[in-house]
C-alpha cells in the first residue's frame, strides 16, 4: 500500500559545484525530528524505511518511503512535509511514499533513539505489551523511571499525551512520566 505526498521541487542552491550532494540530503532527511518528540529523529524512530535515488523532471532527487507509527498519528503528516522541506532547502526534489505493510513496530527504534527518549524523560518501549490490570507471572513487565531509575512505577493511564505513549508515575521519586508504548 502506498500513497504519495507531493513532490517538493527544489529552488534552493546546491553546494559547491552547484550540484547538491544527495548523500548529504539523505542525511538531512533522516535527521528530520519527530514533531511531537523533537529529541528523536524519524530515522531513529524507525519510520524511514527506504531512501532511493530517483530521476525526476527537476533533476536527480530522492524517494523516501516511510511507515506510519499509528494509523491516526497526526504527526505523520508533519513528518512528510518536513521531509519534503529538507529536500527543498538543499534544492533537491523529494517524494514521500507511505508504506503500511509491514506494520511499524517499536522494535524498529534504534538504540540511540531509545537513549534519547530516556534522556528526554520518556521511558523507552520495554518490548512487552501492557496487558491486563496487574502484571502477573514470571515475566513482570518493568518500566524504569527515566528520572531516578527506580522500577517501582505504576501505570496511570494507558493512553497518554500522544497516540504512542502511556502515562505512568514513579512511586520512589513521585514524578509522573510518559512511557513509549510497545507496539
Residues that bind other proteins (CB under 8 A): 1, 3, 68, 70-74, 99-105, 129-133, 156-161, 163, 167, 181, 183
Q: Is the peptide bond before 115 cis (omega within 30 degrees of 0)?
A: no
Residue 99, strand partner residues? 2
> CB of residue 78 vs other proteins: minimum separation in angstroms?
14
Half-sphere CA count of 73, side-chain side, radius 13 A: 22
142 within 8 A of 126, measured Cβ to Cβ? yes
Which of residues 151 and 161 has its CB atom nearest to other proteins in the complex? Answer: 161
> CB of residue 122 vs other proteins: minimum separation in angstroms?
16
Q: Identify each DSSP E strand in 15-151 by its residue range.
A: 48-56, 59-66, 94-99, 122-123
Cell numbers given for 3: 500513497
> CB of residue 177 vs other proteins: minimum separation in angstroms?
15
Which of residues 31 and 157 has its CB atom nearest to other proteins in the complex? Answer: 157
> CB of residue 72 vs other proteins: minimum separation in angstroms?
3
Which of residues 131 and 136 has its CB atom nearest to other proteins in the complex? Answer: 131
Signed CA dihedral, 105, 66, 28, 78: sign only: negative
Which of residues 70 and 120 has its CB atom nearest to other proteins in the complex? Answer: 70
Amino acid at each position: 500500500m502506498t500513497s504519495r505526498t507531493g513532490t517538493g521541487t527544489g529552488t534552493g542552491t546546491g553546494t559547491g559545484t552547484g550540484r547538491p550532494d544527495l548523500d548529504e540530503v539523505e542525511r538531512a532527511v533522516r535527521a528530520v525530528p519527530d514533531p511531537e518528540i523533537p529529541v528523536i529523529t524519524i530515522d531513529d524512530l524507525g519510520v524511514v524505511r527506504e531512501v532511493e535515488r530517483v530521476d525526476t523532471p527537476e533533476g536527480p532527487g530522492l524517494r523516501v518511503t516511510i511507515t506510519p507509527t499509528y494509523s491516526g498519528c497526526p504527526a505523520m503528516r508533519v513528518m512528510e512535509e518536513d521531509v519534503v522541506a529538507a529536500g527543498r532547502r538543499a534544492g533537491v526534489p523529494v517524494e514521500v511514499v507511505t508504506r503500511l505493510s509491514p506494520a511499524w513496530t517499536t522494535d524498529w527504534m534504534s538504540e540511540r533513539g531509545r537513549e534519547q527518549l530516556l534522556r528526554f524523560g520518556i521511558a523507552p518501549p520495554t518490548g512487552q505489551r501492557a496487558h491486563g490490570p496487574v502484571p502477573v507471572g514470571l515475566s513482570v513487565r518493568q518500566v524504569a523511571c527515566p528520572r531516578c531509575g527506580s522500577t517501582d512505577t505504576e501505570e496511570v493511564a494507558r493512553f497518554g499525551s500522544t497516540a504512542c505513549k502511556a502515562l505512568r508515575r514513579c512511586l520512589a521519586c513521585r514524578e509522573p512520566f510518559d512511557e513509549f508504548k510497545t507496539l
